Amino acid sequence: MSKRIVAEDVNAYYGSAQAIAGVSLAIEPKSVTALIGPSGCGKSTFLRTLNRLHEVIPGARVEGKVLLDSEDLYGPGIDAVAVRRTIGMVFQRPNPFPTMSIRDNVASGLRLNGIKNKQVLDEAVERSLRGANLWNEVKDRLGKPGAGLSGGQQQRLCIARAIAVEPQVLLMDEPCSALDPISTLAIEDLMTELKERFTIVIVTHNMQQAARVSDRTGFFSLEATGEPGRLIEIDTTEKIFSNPSEKRTEDYITGRFG
């Protein structure tokens, strides 16, 4: 079910501007990997290279290799659409489809795989909503628009939508930054549950969150504005937060950055 990701010398560009340079790291299956670092250092960009979403931006391109259990996602003959079906993503701001009901939002990914059987869809919807800890709150109004939920509920709806297609990997880009502490806690608990089944990569600005939920933590930074972002180090979360090998990591974590 869950797979290991290895990035080898990944460079990403927006037009002629390079956003990240030479990122190599390994993401272990059935674990939570947190990516931290100052704003603009390319965490989101790197995350989006992992499911080939970076390239949908006009002029954007990626160099390097991203291996999903030894298969290069950027290899010849690999379909970006198929990659995105295997690697799900949750965005910073909740973005449920406004024209669809709660049920349809969750089922939207499955429908494309040709699943039309109503019973199968309904089961998947319930399973995913339970998985996202949202079922009890919405089970009586599955036909209502997804946009009518609170921000925290919408984000959990987006998580349900992402896990409904049973991806191998779940990418989360600051999934809690728009949420209150209680919703945040709910989603953190959820991550701990979900890592039994998925490989999870989360970008966060919240050190405590990284320390609470992740098994490994990677620190990104950039030398100066205008320079591409780089991976400074990646290690077990415990090591990064207690005894990082790089001075810059320590400065950032203890708040002496910049």
Partner 1 sequence: MSATILEQIPGLGDDTRRLHAPVRLALLALTVLVSLLLFAVTPLQGQADFVVFVVVAFAVVQTATSFALEGRRHALDRLLSLGVHLALLAAVVPLVSVLSYTVYKGVKKLDGQFLTHNLTGLGPLDTNGGEYHAIIGTLEQVLMATAIAVPLGLLVAIYITEYGTGWLVSAVRFVIDVMTGIPSIVAGLFIFAFWVIGLHRGYSGLAAAFSLTILMLPVVVRSSEEMIKLVPAELREASYALGLPKWKTILRVVLPTASAGITTGAMLAVARVTGETAPLLLTSFITPATNTDPLSGKQAAIPTFIFSQIGLGRPVNYDRAWAAALTLIALVLVLYISARLLTRRNTLSRR
The nearest distance, CB 115 to ligand ATP, in angstroms, is: 33
> Binding residues for ligand ATP, per CB under 6 A?
14, 19, 39-45, 57
Would you call 12 exposed, middle or buried from its count of C-beta atoms within 10 A (0-12, 13-18, 19+)? buried
- The partner in contact with residue 91, picked from Mg ion, partner 1, ligand ATP, none with C-beta cut-offs of 5 to 8 angstroms by kind, is partner 1
- The token duo for 124 is 């998947």
Report the alpha-carbon distance of residue 122 to residue 120 in Å, rounded.
Answer: 6
Binding mask 98-137 for partner 1 (x = CB under 8 A): xxxx-xx---xx--x-------------------------
Which one, 58 or 226, has the nearer CB to partner 1? 58
- Taking alpha carbons only, the member of 66, 70, 64 closest to residue 21 is 64
DSSP 106-138: HHHHHHHTT---HHHHHHHHHHHHHHTT-HHHH
Which one, 160 or 222, has the nearer CB to ligand ATP? 222
Under the criterion CB under 8 A, does residue 93 sit at the interface with partner 1?
Answer: yes
* Binds partner 1 (CB under 8 A): choice among 89, 157, 190, 210: 89
Cα 87 from chain centroid?
Answer: 9
The dihedral through the CA atoms of 85, 159, 90, 143 has a sign that is: positive
Under the criterion CB under 5 A, does residue 44 sit at the interface with Mg ion?
Answer: yes
The nearest distance, CB 178 to Mg ion, in angstroms, is: 13
Contact 47/171 with Cβ under 8 angstroms?
A: yes
- The partner in contact with residue 177, picked from Mg ion, ligand ATP, partner 1, none with C-beta cut-offs of 5 to 8 angstroms by kind, is none
The nearest distance, CB 222 to ligand ATP, in angstroms, is: 8
